[in-house]
Structure 1
Amino acid sequence: FLRFLKLHKNIIPKTVEFDEIDISDIDISFIKTVTLSDLYAYMSFVSNKRSNSAYARARKVASLKSFFNYLTNKAKLIDKNPAAELESPKIVKRLPRYLNIEESKQLLTSVEGEHSARDYAILTLFLNCGIRLSELVGLNLKSIKNNTLSVIGKGDKERIIPLNSACISAINEYLKVRPVDGVKDKNALFLSERKQRISKATVQHLVKKYIVSAGLDPRKYSTHKLRHTAATLMYKYGHVDIRALQELLGHESISTTEIYTHLDSQQLRNAVESNPLSNFKVSE
């Protein structure tokens, strides 16, 4: 942003390479000259010259607002906040991609090999509980209690997820073969081949491997898409209340969860067809 300002205000020649523009001489007096027009010029620059998406521009707007808010209200170094009326670009929410029931079954039946019990349990938890990758690798043996799963989510917040019969069975089968001797992290639920807590990279690798084995497109599906799958299937077939789904997924804002309510076009069609007037027609 500061490099752009130097160019925008003609402080340096336009022939200078952008990434080589020196900003070590920027001081508060220079910052005080920034206007709302400068900020919009910068947003236009990152959109047209840097091909920033709406998401990327929205993050930049948030950063600029935070920066100038600090200088105005906390540090008291400037009198007027030029970013106060800076608007964030509208972001079109994309519907999350997910596996349907048959694709989910294909993925589960593709599991094989030396670590099949572990891998099957991992995929089962992803597809049934909708937990995050970070939450899965952080699971401990004591996380499972009375057929529930204790998960530490974002912000170190704990939530309890009930385990269905598929999860209970998969975990029990894995625990039968989980290494005991020479384990480096005795608390960890899922262990790597080196008998230490499984890493995110290892989980991502095995998920991708089974996605390919199941005949699915690894460019379309990833570990996080399994979380979307669980959420979608629970909402679509379990008729889960949106508040309950929010709690299960560990979403801080219900607006994040509400995206799953827009997924099922068939439900919308059924709702319209269920109208008592759907078949009414005035006879000629």
Structure 2
Amino acid sequence: MKQAYVDDCPYYLDDFLTNMKVVKDRSDRTEEAYFIDIRTFLRYLNVKHHAVPAETPFNKIKIKETPIEWLECFSLNDAYVYLKYLKDERNNSTKTRARKCSALKQFYVYLCQKAKIISNNPLDDLELPHINQALPKYLSLEQSLELLRNIDSKNQVRDYCIITLFLNCGMRLSELVGLNLSDYSRDNRTLRVLGKGRKERIIYLNDACVSALDEYIDTTRPHVEQTAIFLSANKTRINKRRVQQIVDEQLQRAGLSNLGITTHKLRHTAATLMYQHGGVDTLVLKDILGHKSIATTEIYTHLSDENIKKAMESNPLSEEIEKKKK
């Protein structure tokens, strides 16, 4: 975690983050995300209790000395007032408020049940803001083929391999840039990826992925002392931003830049193609994508429902409505 965060962290928040890191094995990025969300709450408490001058910018409020007693006397009604503050004063979206609410609930569970720093948990019955689940954007089979057929760059073999893995394996951006040579088993035709929460999973590769990986590793990948599979022009591990740029550039070449497609939407595309065209069961798809809950995977069944509806409407008899006899 950044030193500036550590320096401004109250002891009870530091204990919670240590528990997240050591016991729950959360990543550094997750640890910082929890700190930032809970810091917003503690800054709010400082405003609520008039502990800082009124003219102090919100993002300049220090939280190091926030008394634990303020958290102890915080009520369920206070929590709903806080959520209203996030909406009205901080202009937080429903999704952002739900995330901050979830982080706060976990924080209070730790303070009450684990650390026993406070005697009761006022947030036990706090309801998360309802999020309307939007159907994910994705490329059709034809658009995916168009993207692959139009890839052209100085590092064409590498870029083709990257996009092939996205479209076939449905891996996350962080998983792709984190791939090492030792994660690829040619004999077993598998990749070992490190997903959310540092959870490892094995991805079985099809012919397209094996061919793209072998060609890149054997012919164009620089022969340097680097563990990463995908290297930048500087012969170091490629970073997330560069991969996003590669995807954007190739989408533009294929005439698909106006669809709002990102690296994560390519993950949606892989899942959708597997479900709709490959007949992959949702439980199997859950394991392929590394989802923690089947509910996350079931979004792709809704996409299929939309296709079924369109198919019914495309029936040539769909507009043949019996005319009323006069």
User: C-alpha offsets along residues 17-61 of structure 1, whole Å, 9 cap, x if unaligned?
Assistant: 544556555323333322211111111111112111111111221
Please name the residue that 2:251 is paired with.
211
Please name the residue that 2:137 is paired with.
97
1:180-219 alignment, distance < 5 Å: 181=223, 183-185=224-226, 187-217=227-257
Please name the residue that 1:47 is paired with.
87
1:132-143 alignment, distance < 5 Å: 132-142=172-182, 143=184
Contact 1:99-1:229 within 8 A present in 2 as well: yes
1:69-148 alignment, distance < 5 Å: 69-142=109-182, 143-146=184-187, 148=189
Structure 1: gaps (5+ residues): none
Contact 2:153-2:159 within 8 A present in 1 as well: no
TM-score by length of 1: 0.84
Contact 2:178-2:194 within 8 A present in 1 as well: no
The partner residue of 1:174 within 212, 216, 240 is 216
Contact 1:135-1:151 within 8 A present in 2 as well: no
TM-score by length of 2: 0.74
Contact 1:150-1:158 within 8 A present in 2 as well: no
Identity of aligned residues (%): 45
Please name the residue that 1:158 is paired with.
200
Measure how far apart 1:147 and its partner are.
Answer: 5.5
Measure how far apart 1:150 and its partner are.
Answer: 1.9
- Secondary structure in structure 2 of the residue aligned to 1:177: helix
Using the TM superposition, name which of 242-251 and 20-29 deviates more.
20-29
User: C-alpha offsets along residues 39-93 of structure 1, whole Å, 9 cap, x if unaligned?
Assistant: 1111111111211111111122122222322332233332222112111111111
- 2:66 and 2:229 map into 1 onto residues whose CA distance is 51
Measure how far apart 1:205 and its partner are.
Answer: 1.5
Change (3 A) 1:188 1:272: same
- 1:150 and 1:22 map into 2 onto residues whose CA distance is 45
The aligned length equals: 277
Root-mean-square deviation (Å)? 3.0
Change (3 A) 1:240 1:179: closer
Using the TM superposition, name which of 103-112 and 159-168 deviates more.
159-168
Change (3 A) 1:11 1:97: same
- 2:295 and 2:107 map into 1 onto residues whose CA distance is 26
Change (3 A) 1:68 1:168: closer
The partner residue of 2:307 within 263, 266, 284 is 266
Contact 2:79-2:126 within 8 A present in 1 as well: yes
- Secondary structure in structure 2 of the residue aligned to 1:79: coil
Structure 2: gaps (5+ residues): 1-40
- Are residues 1:237 and 2:277 paired? yes
Give the AA of the match of 1:51. N
- 1:145 and 1:196 map into 2 onto residues whose CA distance is 23
